[in-house]
Amino acid sequence: MSGPRADVDALVAAARAARERAYAPYSNFLVGAAVTDDGEIFGAPNIENASYPMSVCAERNAVAVAVAAGHRRIRAVAVVGSGEAPTPPCGGCRQVLYEFGGPGLTVICESPSGERRTWALEDLLPAAFGPHDLPA
Ligand code: THU
């Protein structure tokens, strides 16, 4: 089966699978994220550190995996966190997602129990600072 709905379900499933590999012994808040441009999916979990501020969110790790594989455009990101409600990307991750996805990036967040919310990134990060704000 293919189509937009199947695409989204596959992306969320990849985020859920990435969450299984979360390294979050300090917060115990497991998160998985998955990004895609053209169907190829790149997933990663959050990875914490004993030096707490060195911890990295799942979204930024997923972006790093995609970019390291040569994919610099991101059309959609899925996030599966650990709260009762869907976990939205933190402010810092919104900025990093904007770099590679721009205002139209689709952000799909699902709770462990399956509650899903979807936004366009421009609604989560209005009037964003981006590459266009730097001199050419
Ligand atoms: N975290 C993410 O990975 N993504 C989010 O969208 C929110 C927060 C991580 C950071 C930290 O490892 C843990 O969740 C608790 O904040």
Six token digits for residue 92: 């810092």
Q: What is the pTM of this model?
A: 0.96
Annotated active-site residue 84? The verdict is no
> Distance (Å, rounded) from C-alpha 82 to C-alpha 66?
23
Question: pLDDT at position 1, please?
Answer: 46
Name every protein residue with a CB atom under 6 angstroms from any ligand 1 atom.
24, 27, 29, 31, 46, 48, 55, 57-59, 79, 87, 89-90, 93
Whether the pLDDT of residue 135 is over 70: the answer is: yes
Tokens coding 84: 């009762």
pLDDT at 4 over 90: no
pLDDT tier, 70 (very low <50, low <70, confident <90, very high otherwise): very high
Helix locations, the chain, DSSP H: 4-19, 58-68, 91-101, 121-124
The reported pLDDT for the residue numbered 38 is 81
**Catalytic-role residue among 59, 84, 110, 122:** 59
Q: What percent of the chain has pLDDT over 70?
A: 98
> Which pLDDT tens digit goes with each residue over 8-24?
999 999 999 999 999 99
pLDDT classification of 2: cutoffs 50, 70, 90: low
Whether 66 and 42 have beta carbons less than 8 Å apart is answered as yes
Q: What is the mean pLDDT of residues 23-46?
A: 96
pLDDT at 5 over 90: no
Q: Which atom of ligand 1 is nearest to the CA of 87?
A: 6
Half-sphere exposure of 11 (CA within 13 A, CB side): 30
Measured in angstroms, how far is the CA atom of residue 47 from the centroid of ligand 1? 9
Asked whether 17 and 41 are in contact (CB, 8 A), the reply is: no
CA dist 59 → 1, 91, 131, 132 (Å): 27, 11, 19, 22
The closest of 60, 39, 46 to 18, measured between CA atoms, is 46
Residue 105 confidence class, pLDDT cut points 50, 70, 90 = very high
